[in-house]
Structure 1
Amino acid sequence: MDAARKILERLEKRGYKIIEREKVRGESGIEHTFDAVILGPQGKRIAVTILERLGFEHVIPLLAFRNDHRMPHIVFAKEIEVGVEKILKNSNIVVIHLKDLSVAYDHPELREEQVLEKVLKLLEDTT
């Protein structure tokens, strides 16, 4: 999705490293693959999943990773099935709804900046 890629590119311009199609081994030994992993200062990492539509069928795999590895996780989605975001938020998975980013604003970069700041804050708060 263009909006998620734009945000990742802006993070790169700010000095963060973005590794696409990154594999992460969990405590169970299972290897999980993500659309990207954001590497921040002092080795902080955030897993990134990018979906057109986030539905209940994604909940179990996302929660399984969250249980298998304590890495923070951001899910970018264009559409979100009602109720899914609340379940994931209760498990400390950040869901960013990209629908608003595609709306024609006078200054769309302002909305992108809000999302970027949210991601940066998550990186800073990660231990």
Structure 2
Amino acid sequence: MGATLQPEPTVAQPEVVADLRDLLVFRRGLIKDRTAARTRLKMARQVVLRRFPTQRLAQVERQIARIDATMQALIASDTGLMERLSILVSIPGISLVSATALLADVPELGNLSGKEAAALAGLAPISR
């Protein structure tokens, strides 16, 4: 039975996609840190207590910028990802950060048929 079906082998994702995903997870953690530091800054009444969240905010912003640059360099090193990024960015309302997140979270984007994409998104009709 298995020989007659001959399922197509799935293609392994390139190492770049795994690296992108790792960087994106770290970036999301930094976004949470930035939100927490901004909240602490608003709540601090003393000058001494305002200095630490301000310094932390500056550090987090530098780290986010560095991660963004690293992610863009990774994407630029892969022609397929760069091509898909340019298509995603050309869509109104999708920024470079959003397109990068889509490439990391949904690497099969652009390689699926319409039915496969609908099933992945949960939009395909399923009989119950």
TM-score range, shorter chain: under 0.3
Higher relative helix content: 2
- Which structure carries more relative contact order (alpha carbon 8 Å, separation 6+)? 2
Q: When you count strand as a share of all residues, which structure comes out higher? A: 1
TM-score when normalising by structure 2:
0.25
Decide which structure has the larger Cα Rg and report it: 2
Tell me the TM-score normalised to structure 1 length: 0.25
